[in-house]
Chain A
Amino acid sequence: MSTLAKPNLSVQVSGIKMKNPVTVASGTFGLQSDNYFDLSVLGAVVPKGITLNPKEGNKPPRTIETPSGMLNAIGLQNPGIDHFIKEVLPRYEKFDIPIIINISAESAEEYALLAEKLTATGKITGIEINVSCPNLKRGGFQFGSDPKETEKVVKAVRKATDLTIITKLTPNVTDIMEIAKAAEGAGSDAISLINTLLGTSIDVKTRKFHLANVTGGLSGPAVKPVAVRMVWQCFNAVKIPIIGMGGISNANDALEFILAGATAVAVGTYNFVNPRSPFEIIEGIKNYLIENNIADINDLRGAVETV
């Protein structure tokens, strides 16, 4: 038991060294989470995504609950990068964990400018390129659903930074492997998936859409099987590390993603349900390794077998 009492949980997502494989999905987590557990236990932190200029976001209602999930159409409400760097970023530094910043933009040049500004702070470990937010009327959605557009954005960001680049893929495509390969070919150091699945919901009483934006992104436990399938497909299609996400609510879910090929995992919507879940998932993974006599989390990556 002496060695296995302390199994290795640390993983490497390209240049990002994480002391355990658990991080959070952008937009589902904030500094207020520190009320529920010590954020410095996380493998890395991903604050809410940012854009170059402040964004007001979509008209409410912006969310509706669905069976084991929810739809959201926030519209990337955020104060813009300059405010973020000055006011928000310093408050994440004290946790002494890798900081990954999720960026959205409407052109390759704008993505590059965001990457430059973030790199110049010297406080950031990774940049997650959101090419997949389904709520934007322009920009994001088109980039992530077309391999050439994805390539253009990743190349522009690659030129602008030496930081670890993670391309966050949309599941709303015919062949996610094609997009993953395009990101890899353009110089992305890693990929993260999945972003939300495009959906909608209708109130039959009022005969109106539930969301003011009409469509929104589906997330939560309902999307997990789709996400695990896509992680497994991408694991077999590219060599770069994968951060798996989509409906993770407990350690078993996280382990499913790792077995499918994810190097790290992110907790998203479940932060709303159990705000301590990232902490509990780290503990759960540790216990699983001990109980199953596995010395290193890295031995589980992609280790799924056919029945």
Chain B
Amino acid sequence: MLKLEDAQIVSNISLTKDFYLITFKAPKIAVEAKPGQFINVKVSPGTDPLLRRPIGILDADPEKGIIKALYFIKGKGTNILKERVEGERVSLTGPHGNGFTVSKESKNILLVGGGFGVSPLHFFASRNQDKNIFVAIGGRSAENILLEDDFKKLGAKVLVATDDGSYGDKGLVTKRVEEIIVKNKIDEVLTVGPIPMMKAVAEIAANHQIPCQVTMEERMACGSGFCFACVCKTKQGYKTVCLNGPVFNAEDLEW
């Protein structure tokens, strides 16, 4: 069930120069939120910027009524959002989208995240602590590697790779995916990040006949499936990222 909430900001802090972590008191959305879903944030009152900004949910605590989200400073909207402070109210809608679905039988899950794509994956890991979680995080350099310790705290095995070798393995994180899949008898793969990374991961998963879910991004307007702006091409035609997604089975996509 979608909710509209005037949520109070509990905190809004920078993790690095480009990445911020915002915490909201949003009890109605917190009760409903599932890993892989997102909130749609009106960063400021008024009509410019006009539209809400979709941001993946990092964590939801239904008891405390708390929603956390990690965002990347990209343009006008996120630059306004980073200036909002504790105690202020921000209009949220959500939780939007379908979220991840893994089979009960799947025991060993590999999460592959690029940049702030680790955010929804971390939410998944925290809600699936009965499973063996393996995490591969990739980024351009050390400062783009997020949540490594948070995954470790959940008992996940974490591998990090950076393009420039400033932290972890040097090179693309996808180079190690095959090895992790084989060695750990991975049952399912979830990936969130840049398209080339997710494509590479999906291809490796397909080669090993393992289901792979990817998370799509597209410029969005309504966030609720009315307007058909944020579509991506699937084998069944254009599907909305906001309602039919953002999580898709890799094999259904035409990308």
Contact = CB atoms under 8 A, between A and B. Distances in A.
Given A36-B4, A61-B219, A65-B51, A275 B93 contact: yes
A280 to B, nearest CB: 11
A36 B2 CA distance: 7
A272 B238 contact: no
B246 to A, nearest CB: 14
Interface string B235-246: 001100001000
Interface string A269-283: 101111110000000
B48 A72 contact: no
Contacts of B226: 27-30, 32-33, 48, 271-272
Nearest to B242: A32
Contacts of B227: 27-28, 63, 72, 74, 272
Interface in B12-67: 42, 47-52
A115 to B, nearest CB: 23
In terms of DSSP, what is the predominant structure of the interface of chain A? loop
Interface residues of B, number: 31
Contact of A61 (B1, B47, B218, B228): B218
Interface string B201-226: 00000000000000000111111111
B219 A272 contact: no
Interface in A211-233: 220-222
Given A57-B231, A64-B219, A35 B225 contact: no
A63 B219 contact: yes
Interface of B: 1-4, 42, 47-52, 91, 93, 218-232, 237-238, 243
14 contacts: A27-B228, A32-B2, A60-B232, A62-B229, A64-B219, A68-B47, A68-B50, A69-B50, A74-B227, A77-B231, A221-B47, A271-B226, A272-B222, A275-B224
Interface of A: 27-30, 32-33, 35-36, 48, 56-57, 60-65, 67-70, 72, 74, 77, 220-222, 249, 269, 271-276
